[in-house]
Structure 1
Amino acid sequence: MAERLRNQASAYLRQHAGNPVDWWPFGDEAFAEARRRDVPVFISIGYAACHWCHVMAHESFEDPETARILNENFVSIKVDREERPEVDAAYMAATQALTGQGGWPMSVFTLPDGRTYYAGTYFPPQPLQGTPSFRQVLDAVLTAWTGRREDVEESAAQIAAHLAAGQLANRQLLGSLAGAAGPETGGGWAAEALSAAVGVLSHNEDTDFGGFGGAPKFPPSPVLRFLLAHGHSSADTAPAAARLAARTLTAMALGGLYDQVEGGFARYAVDRRWQVPHFEKMLYDNAQLLRLYAHYSRTEPDPDHRRLALRVTRETGQWLTKRMVLPGGAFASSLDADTEVSGHRVEGATYVFTRAELEAALGPGSPALDLLDTDADDGASHRLPGSTLRLAAVPDADQAAVWDEARTALARVREQRPQPDRDEKVVAGWNGLTIAGLADAATALTDAGRPEPWILEAAEAAAEYLLRVQWDGTVLYRVSHDGAAQGIEGLLEDYAGAAEGLFALYAATGDPRWYDGAESLVAAACSRFLTGGTLSDTAAEPAEIRQAQGGVTAANPLDDAVPSGAALFAGVLLTSSAYSGSMRRRALAEALTAHVRRAGPAAPQAVGWALSVQQALQDGPVELAVTGADPAAVAGLLTAGRDAGGPSLVIAHGPSGPVPLLAGRDTEQPALAYVCRGMVCRRPVSTAEELREQLQTAGHAG
């Protein structure tokens, strides 16, 4: 019945191709069919690694009678939220407005024009603790459609008006971009707002276990980027920011959120202590965290903590290149939370160990066992077939060697277990963030002063894939599968995320083709997402989504698990301006982040990436151009610059070619470094010591 899903890029959609439900992918044809039949639309939204999505699919969508009810009375649409985040965002807002909560699977009922009139999340096959069964829900929404159509229309209009108000509030927060420099940009407010944000984050910190807030606890990646950047500034709050970042990064690295055997992070922890993860591993989380630990490793003075940061950087890079890389060089979207064991899906089955399994693999008296923080209930309270592995404290050099040997033995055991499924769709923006993470990790994991070749090669292969498969020179496509782009144009976050990755790769390699690629994406984003001083998250928003949102196009400046498109765009505009000297792009970056004047002190976790862009604006950003005829001497200056320059440093090296920051520099000397702000440079220096001295005073306006 669901043959339409069989050749989709999304593993989530393909998983439902054999359902008796007559699924449609999201698009005009499905809504036209609903209008032709005069029936409501049922939209089921989830993603491949979602545990409860699989549960509801097995309980309801594989049930022939439930499928009959859906097929006779609805047009049913299956949506992968990772493939169509603009669809997910619109209907998540409706679900939260109706129920006060959200989550996946999301179950939404709309008119044939896309406006919502009822919504919820997971519905069980039988009534459960006050939650109606899915069939009861179907009966209720169908009865309303057939017997109270005017009430349904009125409800849909009210929900759409509510969503329109939310989108207008987002636009008001973002402000007008006309002229690219409003009255709030470029003023003296930024330093105060950035420091105030650090104060709020300090107040909100979980001082017992790190991070912010209680359970469930997600990696706060965008705001950690800001804290690391602010910690490198001369602001009075810089030491507090650095300590905040260090405590959270250390807690996550020691806990069960991090895979202590193979590397990589789970999506979130279900508890305050980062002990028990929800085991799905997402590309976007690991891309950001890889980069954060690479940056943290450069600034952490304690050798044991620095060794831990480098270990996490290396192992996460190894996990990405072993488990997530696809033929052609791009990276898959996720690994499932569940593993199929004896015909049943078991969450975490690949990852956990009982005490007996640990002793069998390591030996009963292994010193590695003393390094672990173990549960008395051995994971039973979370219905796991064992415990996650967590280190009790930051290991010293000897303990780190012991654990490294132990994890090798445990990896051999785990390799024999069933492995979780992988969603092999390629998302452009997430691959861009991954390229950036790999590029920065390669320069942190240096080999004789040069970036680690294996990790840099992986970044270049992914970049080549994006430019070859998903970018046609005019349009960037959001997803591809099996080496072929699908017909979904990328969102603003895709264009900006891909440009972010290519700029970082240029900074790591000095290869001007990556700079050219980034600049072409930034130019395309300016033309496709900016119209008359108005920013949009989509270049071609579906009519049904615009209807669902009361006619208002989305432009959301707030971060989620990934940075907002607006914040990412501001960041690449600022980087472009630092390389090119474009004051227009710098002014636009300022305007796009002016909202942190209000939002930063009020809700810093919602605007972490924008705060980091504002920090870079305050710092300059500092620009470093390195030229010379001696590759070893050039590499030495680059290493010194990366270590001393902080996360906001913009680096140019290699052939001058299209990069204005390199134009006219002396290339005859063995190596020279130019430290600049706004392309105005200090005298060039030739030694690492001189370069470090210049960088220590070059920025620090924060």
Structure 2
Amino acid sequence: MANRLANATSPYLLQHAGNPVDWWPWSQEAFEEARRRDVPVLISVGYAACHWCHVMAHESFEDEAVAASVNEKFVAIKVDREERPDVDAVYMTATQAMTGQGGWPMTVFATPDGDPFFCGTYFPRANFSRLLDSVAEAWRDQREAILDQGAKVVKAIGGAQLVGGPTAPISAELLDAAATQLAKDHDEQWGGFGGAPKFPPHMNLLFLLRHHQRTGSPEDLEIVRHTTEQMARGGIYDQLAGGFARYAVDQTWTVPHFEKMLYDNALLLRAYTQLWRLTGDALARRVADETATFLLRDLATPAGGLASALDADTDGTEGLTYSWTPAQLIQALGEDDGTWAADLFAVTTAGTFEHGTSVLALARDIDEATPDLVSRWQEIRSRLYSVRTQRPQPQRDDKVVASWNGLAITALAEHATLLDSAPSGAAAVELARVLAERHIVDGRLRRVSRDGVVGEPAGVLEDYGAVAEAFCAVHQLTGEGRWLTLAGQLLDVALDHFGTGEGGFYDTADDAERLVTRPADPTDNATPSGLSAICAGLVAYSALTGETRYREAADAALATVGPLIGSHGRFAGYSATVAEAVLAGPYEIAIVTEDPQDPLIAAAHRHAPPGTVIVTGRPGQDGIPLLADRPLINGSGAAYVCRGFVCDRPATTVDELTASLTAR
């Protein structure tokens, strides 16, 4: 017998290719082998940047005795949750149903038909060894009870999906209720929602910004401003290189779980960019610029596309790259600058992290400081960053995930437009090209690629939605019609192959690999759900083309999560964000001009209501439906403002356009 992961494209699977465990990748052949041997299946799910996945691998899967027990009693399957979110969703639902919680690594014991009968997460070596013996013994002596348990779990997780459940059309009352609940959950001292561990609430922030625009609520804006400031000054934000860690282990954002995920940083880039658009806040602009720089510098792959993540560990140790002592700062900077930096970055002799080390956090506001102080701070950052680059660096999961790159494209396109960033604009277009040329195969999306080679796993609903929304964003950025055409093709596939028949969507296509149940999770978690992502694409595409069937599909799908938005808004942040666009219209703005620097363009972007689509071009420019039959006015530029396909009189001055967009 032999480990079968050596030819995997997933970096996570390759991390386990040298284990003495006889791993199989997820495949029907593995289940057939379990049937042939008449043994249960061990399904281990994780991802490359996961700290506790590494710990369990080191303790158990690299141990010869544990591996021998696994190989003797089970068929072992290793799954990258980022590569196969459909498999992860099914077994995570089972794990949560059986244990009341979930997480990674996820450890599932299943029948040779894939029915889960015992689930858990991380197990220390001794516990895991005993568990292997107990499960094998139960399979031998209590087979009927195990099969019955598996059947019941499959039935339960199938019923947990909100397919065919109650609906509620999107309304101002539903969205107001979601905003009210978020305000109640807001941590007034440290920002964010709830206690430790604390995750960046990017989708909730995007929703509150749009809700503020619609209602004028000062509380919404203050929650976003306060939360973004606290995160940006905390250790969860990399004070030297930019970019946010996955979450903070404490309530104060001080100590991060050090992995950096593409999806978090893409969504946070949008949040800080949009906050700057509405307020002109200096910190928001700085963090948006630095986050965009982080994405393009640290996650860009040689073959094109952005990598998924930076690992939580360096050489098996959390925080090795990022933590400092006062003595290390003095060694790097000299006595005066080192002492000054320790005070500024809250580095103490006691330490805020482990073994007397500290994670850098800003102890005071720097964005409104004097020019001399800002200059010194920038110089100190640069010198410390140079020193840090000489330390061991975390590994990078360099697979390119379609949906996460889609989120990044949309964020970079917004950053390029609103903050006049040429690098972000060029990157958005290039990333879109990579997805279009590499990830679309025979008209269907593939989820991952690595080293320029596309993988086999089919795209799931979130891939179609996020990439379609991204192509709509690039269409607006460039004025090129091919991006709109591609977006429409992806949305057509989603409508044809992912619909439930009752307004909602499944996460997998009707012709995808059949799992023990077909996942359809409408909740927004670490990333937008497939349903909210596809709705974002449908709403944008409908507004850009005037084709109402896509809007009708979005309305029907959002109604299926209406009750969730109204009662549990924290878990429907992106759905609520899209719903604000729907409630606003969304606005469609076509700026007809011969001047690419026409001041109407900047005014439209600065004052656009939630979810507005904006296109700019010459009269009748090919590939831009919103420009059709819209002439210049008296030879000058004009902004045609429509809402829900009903148009106002063309605006020819900035004042006219601003008044049209800001009137409530």
> What range is the shorter-chain TM-score in?
over 0.9
Gaps of 5+ in 1: 127-132, 176-183, 447-451
Are the counterparts in 1 of residues 314 and 393 from structure 2 also a CA contact under 8 Å?
A: yes
Structure-2 change in CA distance of 1:542 and 1:682 (3 Å): closer
What is the SS of the residue equivalent to 1:652? Answer: strand
What is the SS of the residue equivalent to 2:335? Answer: coil
Kindly state the Cα deviation for residue 365 of structure 1 after the two structures are TM-superposed: 3.0
User: Partners of 1:350 and 1:521 in 2: how far apart?
Assistant: 41
Kindly state the Cα deviation for residue 392 of structure 1 after the two structures are TM-superposed: 2.2
Instruction: Say if 2:281 is the partner of 1:281.
Output: no
- Structure 2 partner of 1:573: 538
Instruction: Say if 2:587 is the partner of 1:593.
Output: no
The Cα offsets for residues 478-536 of structure 1, whole Å up to 9 and x where unpaired, read as 01111111111100000001111111222223232222222222122112212534521
Structure-2 change in CA distance of 1:519 and 1:544 (3 Å): closer
Structure-2 change in CA distance of 1:475 and 1:173 (3 Å): same
- Structure 2 partner of 1:402: 376
- Structure 2 partner of 1:391: 362
Kindly state the Cα deviation for residue 670 of structure 1 after the two structures are TM-superposed: 4.3
Kindly state the Cα deviation for residue 596 of structure 1 after the two structures are TM-superposed: 4.9
Amino acid of the structure 2 residue aligned with 1:44:
S
- Structure 1 partner of 2:588: 623
User: Partners of 1:24 and 1:606 in 2: how far apart?
Assistant: 34
Are the counterparts in 1 of residues 304 and 452 from structure 2 also a CA contact under 8 Å?
A: no
- Structure 1 partner of 2:321: 350
What is the SS of the residue equivalent to 1:326? Answer: coil
Among candidates 236, 247, 269, match of residue 248 of structure 2 = 269
Structure-2 change in CA distance of 1:64 and 1:594 (3 Å): same
Are the counterparts in 2 of residues 2 and 18 from structure 1 also a CA contact under 8 Å?
A: no
Instruction: Say if 2:621 is the partner of 1:650.
Output: no
Kindly state the Cα deviation for residue 657 of structure 1 after the two structures are TM-superposed: 2.2
Instruction: Say if 2:396 is the partner of 1:422.
Output: yes
Are the counterparts in 1 of residues 593 and 616 from structure 2 also a CA contact under 8 Å?
A: no
| 1:226-305 equivalence runs, <5 A | 226-233=207-214, 235=215, 238-301=217-280
User: Partners of 1:375 and 1:75 in 2: how far apart?
Assistant: 50
Structure-2 change in CA distance of 1:15 and 1:691 (3 Å): same
The Cα offsets for residues 384-427 of structure 1, whole Å up to 9 and x where unpaired, read as 56211111233214244332222111111111111100011111
- Structure 1 partner of 2:34: 34
Instruction: Say if 2:435 is the partner of 1:466.
Output: yes
Gaps of 5+ in 2: none
Amino acid of the structure 2 residue aligned with 1:639:
A
User: Partners of 1:359 and 1:245 in 2: how far apart?
Assistant: 36
What is the SS of the residue equivalent to 1:594? Answer: helix
Kindly state the Cα deviation for residue 100 of structure 1 after the two structures are TM-superposed: 2.2
- Report the count of equivalent residues: 655
RMSD across aligned C-alpha pairs, in angstroms?
1.9
- Structure 1 partner of 2:77: 77
What is the SS of the residue equivalent to 2:474? Answer: helix
Amino acid of the structure 1 residue aligned with 2:524:
D
| 1:88-103 equivalence runs, <5 A | 88-103=88-103
User: Partners of 2:383 and 2:480 in 1: how far apart?
Assistant: 40
- Structure 2 partner of 1:19: 19
Kindly state the Cα deviation for residue 543 of structure 1 after the two structures are TM-superposed: 5.9
User: Partners of 2:246 and 2:568 in 1: how far apart?
Assistant: 22
- Structure 2 partner of 1:517: 486
The Cα offsets for residues 229-255 of structure 1, whole Å up to 9 and x where unpaired, read as 11111x26x222111111111111111
Are the counterparts in 1 of residues 273 and 288 from structure 2 also a CA contact under 8 Å?
A: yes
Among candidates 120, 131, 144, match of residue 138 of structure 2 = 144
Amino acid of the structure 1 residue aligned with 2:324:
F
Structure-2 change in CA distance of 1:519 and 1:542 (3 Å): closer
User: Partners of 2:147 and 2:564 in 1: how far apart?
Assistant: 36
Are the counterparts in 1 of residues 225 and 275 from structure 2 also a CA contact under 8 Å?
A: yes
Kindly state the Cα deviation for residue 173 of structure 1 after the two structures are TM-superposed: 4.1
Of stretches 679-688 and 144-153 in structure 1, the one that deviates more from structure 2 is: 679-688
Relative contact order, higher structure (CA 8 A, sep 6+) = 1
Are the counterparts in 2 of residues 675 and 681 from structure 1 also a CA contact under 8 Å?
A: yes
Amino acid of the structure 1 residue aligned with 2:286:
R
Among candidates 144, 163, 175, match of residue 171 of structure 1 = 163
Kindly state the Cα deviation for residue 571 of structure 1 after the two structures are TM-superposed: 1.4
The Cα offsets for residues 239-285 of structure 1, whole Å up to 9 and x where unpaired, read as 22111111111111111111010000000000000000000000110
- Structure 2 partner of 1:179: none
The Cα offsets for residues 572-610 of structure 1, whole Å up to 9 and x where unpaired, read as 111111112222221221121124542223211111111
- Structure 1 partner of 2:346: 373
Structure-2 change in CA distance of 1:22 and 1:467 (3 Å): same
Give % identity.
46
Kindly state the Cα deviation for residue 686 of structure 1 after the two structures are TM-superposed: 2.8
| 1:635-646 equivalence runs, <5 A | 636-646=599-609
Are the counterparts in 1 of residues 348 and 358 from structure 2 also a CA contact under 8 Å?
A: yes
What is the SS of the residue equivalent to 1:171? Answer: coil
- Structure 2 partner of 1:537: 507
Among candidates 315, 319, 330, match of residue 305 of structure 2 = 330
If the length of structure 1 is used for normalisation, what is the TM-score? Answer: 0.90
Are the counterparts in 2 of residues 41 and 110 from structure 1 also a CA contact under 8 Å?
A: yes
- Structure 2 partner of 1:196: 177
Amino acid of the structure 2 residue aligned with 1:145:
W
What is the SS of the residue equivalent to 1:522? Answer: helix
User: Partners of 2:148 and 2:169 in 1: how far apart?
Assistant: 42
The Cα offsets for residues 541-585 of structure 1, whole Å up to 9 and x where unpaired, read as 76663x2x4xxx222111111011101111111111111222222
The Cα offsets for residues 418-450 of structure 1, whole Å up to 9 and x where unpaired, read as 11000111110000001111111112322xxxx
Kindly state the Cα deviation for residue 135 of structure 1 after the two structures are TM-superposed: 1.1
Instruction: Say if 2:41 is the partner of 1:55.
Output: no
The Cα offsets for residues 34-55 of structure 1, whole Å up to 9 and x where unpaired, read as 1121111000111000111111
Instruction: Say if 2:326 is the partner of 1:361.
Output: no
- Structure 1 partner of 2:660: 694
User: Partners of 1:255 and 1:196 in 2: how far apart?
Assistant: 30
Structure-2 change in CA distance of 1:173 and 1:219 (3 Å): farther
If the length of structure 2 is used for normalisation, what is the TM-score? Answer: 0.95
Amino acid of the structure 1 residue aligned with 2:194:
G
Kindly state the Cα deviation for residue 92 of structure 1 after the two structures are TM-superposed: 1.4
What is the SS of the residue equivalent to 1:557? Answer: coil
Amino acid of the structure 1 residue aligned with 2:344:
L
Kindly state the Cα deviation for residue 153 of structure 1 after the two structures are TM-superposed: 1.0
Of stretches 351-360 and 460-469 in structure 1, the one that deviates more from structure 2 is: 351-360
- Structure 2 partner of 1:67: 67
